[in-house]
């Protein structure tokens, strides 16, 4: 869409809202940003080491209780019933056939859950009461972790082809920064980590990389347009040039994720939490972390500006 097409449109008004008259010297604040990131990453790693993650049923194993109620039931009523009776970490599902399936972790009183269901749903028939093996669950956890690392490896290949190796490495460091911070938030709040959350983490990774690629593309363009500009100043110009796009995209996606978090129910709010943290951290890292690392690693390796141009 051309700029002329945007003239006078609501979208142009939004873009102008985020356009600052005085450019922000982002790279002047990079050492403060490094300190914030250091606290964020170290804190997350310590949480993951000593507090760990609250792995969901998909990864820990548990019990499956399936009953056929005499009439249709409201899932929210069953959830409230279980919560009121001190049951934690459970999943309630209703099948197309009208069966009610409740899954609880191994550390929860499955027998009590079964009795509660049969007592509350008078006339209900017990169809299944069995244990999901921990061996299967641990295998599923391994596959989920392999899936994440495979995705990160493919992202690394994409970045290596799109930019030179140095640029790809800095983008990957920023990506790991975002993933670790998001996992740290799950450890801090002790929210359940299940397969859906793993999928959300992959989405966060894609979002983070997209933001970084937009900034790096602008840096690459400015390297050709402004060959005499110092690299630090050129990065500031590039970030300011993409700032309105970055903020508008982030606020839009954050708003949607926030609505899901508030009104999406237990399952959707748990996934939306990953989006909320990922959007905030990803936006911060695309502005302060990735480009700052590119500047300082370039200085560290003594590259001249002409040698750091991306292909």
pLDDT by residue (tens digit) across 99-157?
Answer: 888 888 888 888 898 888 888 888 888 888 888 765 556 677 778 778 888 888 888 88
Q: What is the pLDDT of residues 218-252, one digit of tens each?
A: 988 888 888 888 889 999 999 998 888 888 888 99
Q: What is the DSSP string of 7-32?
A: TTSHHHHHHHHT--SS---GGGGHHH
Q: What pLDDT shows up at residue 136?
A: 56
- Percentage of residues in the chain having pLDDT higher than 70: 88
Confidence band for 3, pLDDT divided at 50, 70 and 90: very low
| Residue listed under structure tokens 């869409």 | 1
Q: What pLDDT shows up at residue 133?
A: 65
Are the beta carbons of 281 and 181 closer than 8 angstroms? yes
Confidence band for 261, pLDDT divided at 50, 70 and 90: very high
Q: What is the pLDDT of residues 41-69, one digit of tens each?
A: 999 999 999 999 888 777 777 888 888 88
Q: What pLDDT shows up at residue 17?
A: 47
For residues 83 and 310, the model is more confident at 83
Confidence band for 196, pLDDT divided at 50, 70 and 90: confident
Comparing 95-104, 138-147, 257-266, 297-306, the range with the smallest average pLDDT is 297-306
Confidence band for 22, pLDDT divided at 50, 70 and 90: low
Q: What pLDDT shows up at residue 134?
A: 59
Confidence band for 1, pLDDT divided at 50, 70 and 90: very low
Q: What pLDDT shows up at residue 303?
A: 52
Give the SS3 label for residue 195: helix
Q: Is 183 exposed, middle or buried (0-12, 13-18, 19+ CB in 10 A)?
A: buried
Are the beta carbons of 34 and 177 closer than 8 angstroms? no
Instruction: Quote the tokens at residue 145.
Output: 């972790």
Q: What pLDDT shows up at residue 281?
A: 94
Q: 24 phi and psi, to 5 degrees?
A: -90, 130
Q: What pLDDT shows up at residue 2?
A: 41
Confidence band for 19, pLDDT divided at 50, 70 and 90: low
pTM: 0.78
- Which residue ranges form the domains of the chain, and what is each CATH number? 11-55+137-308 (1.20.1640.10), 62-132 (3.30.70.3400)
Q: What is the mean pLDDT of residues 256-283?
A: 90
Q: What pLDDT shows up at residue 304?
A: 46
3-state secondary structure 256-288: HHHHHHHHCHHHHHHHHHHHHHHHHHHHHHHHH
């Amino acid at each position: 869409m051309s700029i002329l097409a945007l003239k006078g449109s609501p979208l142009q008004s939004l873009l102008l809202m985020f356009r600052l008259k005085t450019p922000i010297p982002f790279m002047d604040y990079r050492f403060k940003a490094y300190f914030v990131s250091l606290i964020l990453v170290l804190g997350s790693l310590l949480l993951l080491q000593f507090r760990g993650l609250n792995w969901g049923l998909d990864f820990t194993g548990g019990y499956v209780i399936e009953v056929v109620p005499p009439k249709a039931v409201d899932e929210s009523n069953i959830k409230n019933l279980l919560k009121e009776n001190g049951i934690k970490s459970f999943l309630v599902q209703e099948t197309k056939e009208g069966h009610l399936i409740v899954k609880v972790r191994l550390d929860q009183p499955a027998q009590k859950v079964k009795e509660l269901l049969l007592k509350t749903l008078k006339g209900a028939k017990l169809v299944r009461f069995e244990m999901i093996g921990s061996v299967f669950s641990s295998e599923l956890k391994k596959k989920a972790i392999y899936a994440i690392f495979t995705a990160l490896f493919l992202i690394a290949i994409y970045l290596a082809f799109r930019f030179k190796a140095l640029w790809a490495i800095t983008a990957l460091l920023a990506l790991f920064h975002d993933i670790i911070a998001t996992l740290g938030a799950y450890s801090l709040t002790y929210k359940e980590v299940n397969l859906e959350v793993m999928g959300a983490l992959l989405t966060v990774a894609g979002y983070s990389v997209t933001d970084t690629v937009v900034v790096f593309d602008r840096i690459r363009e400015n390297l050709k347009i402004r060959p005499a500009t110092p690299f630090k100043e050129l990065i500031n110009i590039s970030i300011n040039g993409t700032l309105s796009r970055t903020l508008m995209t982030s606020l839009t996606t954050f708003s949607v994720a926030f609505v899901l978090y508030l009104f999406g129910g237990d399952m959707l709010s748990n996934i939306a939490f990953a989006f909320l943290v990922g959007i905030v951290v990803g936006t911060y890292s695309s502005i302060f972390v990735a480009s700052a690392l590119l500047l300082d690693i370039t200085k560290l390796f003594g590259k001249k500006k002409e040698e750091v141009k991306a292909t």
